[in-house]
Amino acid sequence: MMLFHYLPVVLAAVTAAVFAAPLRAKVWVSLGITAAAGIALTVLSAPALIYGSAQVFESGGTLPLGFGAALSADPLSALFMILIAFTSISTVLYSKGYVGECLRTMPAAHISLHYTALTVMCLSMMMLVFCDGGYPFLFAWELMTIASFILILFDARRKEVRRAALTYLILMHVGFVLLLVGFVRVEMATGRSDFGALAEYCRTAGDPLPLIVVFLLGFGMKAGLFPMHVWLPEAHPAAPSHVSALMSGVMIKMGVYGILRVAAALPEQAPVTETVGMAILAAGIATGLWGVILAAVQNDMKRLLAYSSIENIGVVMIGLGVAVLGRCCGSDTIAACGMCGALLHTLNHSLFKSLLFFGAGNVYSRLHTASLDSLGGLARYMPVTALLFALATAAICALPPLNGFVSEYLIYSGILGGIAGQSSVMLSAAALAGLALIGGIVVLAFAKLYGVVFLGAPRTHDTVEHAGEADSWCIAAMAMPAAGILCIGLFPQAAVALTCRVAAYCFGARAGFSAAAAELLSEGSGALCRTAWILVAAIVLLAFMRRRALRGRTVAEGETWGCGFTAPNVRMQYTGESFSEGLESVVDSLTQNTVEGRAVDKSEIFPTGHSFKVRRKDRVDSLVAEWWMTSLRAINARMMRLRTGKINHYVLFALLFLLSVFLLSVFNLL
């Protein structure tokens, strides 16, 4: 595959095809390209997954900087390929309905640009997993960043969108520079810059820890590890919903992919591996807890979902940390459980998070608000969206019998296995406490989201007037991840076996690794499958018996019981803010609250109209963003002194510049 020889041609062809297509057909062009590339590349990389070994695609030419090198697919990239292809296709399909609403109000060039960027983003991510490190990898990485930057800017008329997009672009490039430094360092040491060279560097270098930290920071920026997560909750509410779904479902997983590559490159039993394992575990716990607590106190659907993405990355990192530590102390089963859990949770998260963002998009495109407290009772008006959203909610809360539970079960098994086997007990206990608390609070966060938005009575007249079921293309796109959620939840064996093969490959198929661990995992997944079906059978049986019992009896309708109060109204319902009040009182110090307006005072017996708006901001955000901003402003202000507005000064500057060039060349310094 001489991909990079023809890359300019491919990109130009994609752009031309999207721009040339008629307005309504642009989405089909985009979908066609994405689906063709996705399916073709998945098929191409499938042998890697089936045989559990790397597949190299010959390259016929030479290009500088390693761009002519052969592309390759190994089981890890094949697994991510499936994830990318699946979510990309459902995202582009969803955009048919979502962008369809804007076709009349937006200029055609704008739509074309959007679809070009969408297609390029999907393609660049597919390209990414086929590049084995080095400059081609960085090129694909950068292409992905720029395409997603354009995608976020879809609604560029809003000021906060431009701001969020810029924050995103800047932070991504900080991460990019770190990765660049990392790969250059590897190349200096070993002569090559792929991930294999990184493994070699880790084995041979005296102290590989600094370089690994650089890589982890660079990839962690994309993945949204604490405290580098600040771009996520800004970018997601700004971007259109399908873009959020793609970014949250797949793009941040590229950061995870990078971290997995780095973890796989670590030597098996070395002090550095243990340090890195502990660092990943600690980062995972911090990220997960921070994400879930901030998610639970948000009052904006998409911001809540963005924080929940951070939390899920934390869960994945906990799994990976457990795996690396398990590998370090020589326990295959712990390593396998942790790694499979991390990989499967990555896959699962891309399914339920894209479904959740699609659902939020359905709500937003009808009601043009994502604020929890102005929604309510939507299940009545959009029943299919409500049903699918409920499925995703249950899955993300890791409730049995759905897919989120399978992956968290694997991670928990790894942790409890570590405790039972007396290896790194204290660290496992920390991971256990973190994961349990995350699991508990995520239920609170999502019960709040689902309960306030879809259940109860509508809070505004707007809902009653404008709410309605979404476009059927949107529903069709949502059915794809929903099917995935049910499949993995009810038949976990296949997915677990798949991830087990990938885990075995990543950690080196040492003798005994695959066999013993795979047997344990297949036993576990079989047991989960049985339990899932017993649970489903029990629920269905009970529902059936209940229905039979009620047949022939009086089933009446009566107002919701107001405890004797006869004039309840919808404004008395619990709002999102009041639902999480208990938690807020516990975690108040973690957020920085901005309050606009005035709350009703207790002494006001007959309160008049009040407007009250509270926003719970991330403390890290202000810490990071404001520090940068103030120091940049200070430097800027100093530079501004040079801009005097007098022509003679400017002539002087030009003269000084020429003089300096002259002097430098005289002294041979240039």
Partner 1 sequence: MECILNTVLVLVVAAAIPGLVNRTRAVLSGRKGPRFFQHLSNVRLLLRKGAVYSPVTTPLFRAVPSVYLGSAAVAALFIPVGDLDPVLSFDGDMIVFAYLLALGRTAIILAAMDTGSAFEGMGASREALYGALVEPAMMFIMATLALVFGFTSFADVFSSAQPLDIQLTIIMLLAAYLLVKILFVESGRVPVDDPRTHLELTMIHEVMCLDYCGVDLGMIHIAGWLKSASLAILAADAASMTFCLRWWAAAPAAVLAAGLSIGIVESTQARNKLSRNTTFILTIAALAALTFFVGYLLQQNIEIG
- Residues in region 296-335 near partner 1 by CB under 8 A: none
The CA distance from 532 to 203, in Å, is: 44
- Residues in region 373-392 near partner 1 by CB under 8 A: 376-377, 379-380, 383, 386, 390
Give the phi and the psi of residue 591 in degrees, each rounded to 5.
-115, 160
Nearer to partner 1, 196 or 421 (CB): 421
Q: Whole-number minimum distance, CB 75 to partner 1, in Å? A: 25
Q: Which of 309, 234, 313 is nearest to 615 (CA)?
A: 234
Q: Which of 345, 633, 355, 626 is nearest to 499 (CA)?
A: 345
Nearer to partner 1, 433 or 600 (CB): 433
Q: How many CB atoms lie within 10 A of CB 639?
A: 9
Q: In this chain, which of 107, 157, 560, 669 binds partner 1, going by CB under 8 A?
A: 560
- Residues in region 484-523 near partner 1 by CB under 8 A: 520, 523
Q: Whole-number minimum distance, CB 557 to partner 1, in Å? A: 5
Q: Is 614 in the site for partner 1 (CB under 8 A)?
A: no
225 φ/ψ sector (left φ>0, alpha ψ -120 to 50, else beta):
beta
Supply 472's token pair: 């059927």
Nearer to partner 1, 32 or 421 (CB): 421
Q: Is 257 in the site for partner 1 (CB under 8 A)?
A: no
| Helix or strand holding residue 611 (H, E) | none
Nearer to partner 1, 264 or 415 (CB): 415
Calculate the CA 83 to chain-centre distance.
Answer: 12
Stretch of 363-371, 506-514, 545-553, 650-658 lying at the interface with partner 1 (CB under 8 A): 545-553
Taken as a whole, the chain contains a residue count of 670
Q: In this chain, which of 188, 539, 655, 664 binds partner 1, going by CB under 8 A?
A: 539
Nearer to partner 1, 194 or 332 (CB): 332
Nearer to partner 1, 556 or 639 (CB): 556
- Residues in region 572-591 near partner 1 by CB under 8 A: 572-574, 578-583, 585-586
Nearer to partner 1, 90 or 573 (CB): 573
Supply 304's token pair: 């809540």
Q: Which of 48, 42, 41 is nearest to 501 (CA)?
A: 48
Supply 298's token pair: 């948000």
Q: In this chain, which of 11, 169, 479, 535 binds partner 1, going by CB under 8 A?
A: 535
Q: Whole-number minimum distance, CB 600 to partner 1, in Å? A: 16
Q: Is 36 in the site for partner 1 (CB under 8 A)?
A: no
Q: Is 595 in the site for partner 1 (CB under 8 A)?
A: no
Stretch of 32-40, 215-223, 341-349, 430-438 lying at the interface with partner 1 (CB under 8 A): 430-438
Q: What's the Cα-to-Cα distance from 315 to each of 219, 332, 355, rounded to whole Å?
A: 16, 20, 19
Nearer to partner 1, 466 or 546 (CB): 546
Supply 490's token pair: 């009810």
Q: In this chain, which of 531, 590, 615, 617 binds partner 1, going by CB under 8 A?
A: 531
Q: In this chain, which of 341, 417, 484, 489 binds partner 1, going by CB under 8 A?
A: 417
Q: Is 602 in the site for partner 1 (CB under 8 A)?
A: no
Q: What's the Cα-to-Cα distance from 418 to each of 199, 240, 254, 269, 429, rounded to whole Å?
A: 26, 43, 28, 17, 9
Give the phi and the psi of residue 477 in degrees, each rounded to 5.
-65, -35
Q: In this chain, which of 39, 108, 429, 670 binds partner 1, going by CB under 8 A?
A: 429
Q: In this chain, which of 40, 103, 177, 436 binds partner 1, going by CB under 8 A?
A: 436
The CA distance from 15 to 124, in Å, is: 14
The CA distance from 111 to 116, in Å, is: 9
Q: Where are the beta strands (DSSP E) in 371-458?
A: none
Nearer to partner 1, 146 or 379 (CB): 379
Q: Whole-number minimum distance, CB 372 to partner 1, in Å? A: 12
Q: Whole-number minimum distance, CB 390 to partner 1, in Å? A: 7
Question: Is residue 488 within 8 Å of 352, Cβ to Cβ?
Answer: no
Partners of 613 in beta bridges: 596
Calculate the CA 321 to chain-centre distance.
Answer: 18
Tell me the number of residues near partner 1 by CB under 8 A: 87
Q: Is 567 in the site for partner 1 (CB under 8 A)?
A: no
Q: Whole-number minimum distance, CB 229 to partner 1, in Å? A: 21
Q: Whole-number minimum distance, CB 597 to partner 1, in Å? A: 22
Q: Whole-number minimum distance, CB 526 to partner 1, in Å? A: 8
Nearer to partner 1, 465 or 581 (CB): 581
Residue 410, class by beta-carbon neighbours within 10 Å (0-12 exposed, 13-18 middle, 19+ buried)? buried
Stretch of 105-113, 258-266, 347-355, 403-411 lying at the interface with partner 1 (CB under 8 A): 403-411
The CA distance from 87 to 447, in Å, is: 25
- Residues in region 263-302 near partner 1 by CB under 8 A: none
Calculate the CA 528 to chain-centre distance.
Answer: 26
- Residues in region 437-456 near partner 1 by CB under 8 A: 437, 439-441, 443-444, 447-448, 450-452, 455-456
Q: In this chain, which of 419, 427, 482, 496 binds partner 1, going by CB under 8 A?
A: 419
Stretch of 56-64, 221-229, 358-366, 526-534 lying at the interface with partner 1 (CB under 8 A): 526-534
Partners of 371 in beta bridges: 300
Stretch of 84-92, 170-178, 226-234, 413-421 lying at the interface with partner 1 (CB under 8 A): 413-421
Encode 69-113 in three state secondary structure: CCEEECHHHHHHHHHHHHHHHHHHHHHHHHHHCCCCCCCHHHHHH
Q: Whole-number minimum distance, CB 368 to partner 1, in Å? A: 23
Q: Is 405 in the site for partner 1 (CB under 8 A)?
A: yes
Angle between helices 75-100 and 332-367 (to 10 degrees): 10
Supply 445's token pair: 């966060």
Nearer to partner 1, 247 or 394 (CB): 394
Q: Is 546 in the site for partner 1 (CB under 8 A)?
A: yes
The CA distance from 64 to 509, in Å, is: 34
Question: Is residue 521 within 8 Å of 340, Cβ to Cβ?
Answer: yes
Q: What's the Cα-to-Cα distance from 300 to each of 185, 192, 307, rounded to whole Å?
A: 42, 46, 11
Q: What's the Cα-to-Cα distance from 213 to each of 283, 425, 564, rounded to whole Å?
A: 12, 25, 62
Stretch of 126-134, 247-255, 525-533, 613-621 lying at the interface with partner 1 (CB under 8 A): 525-533
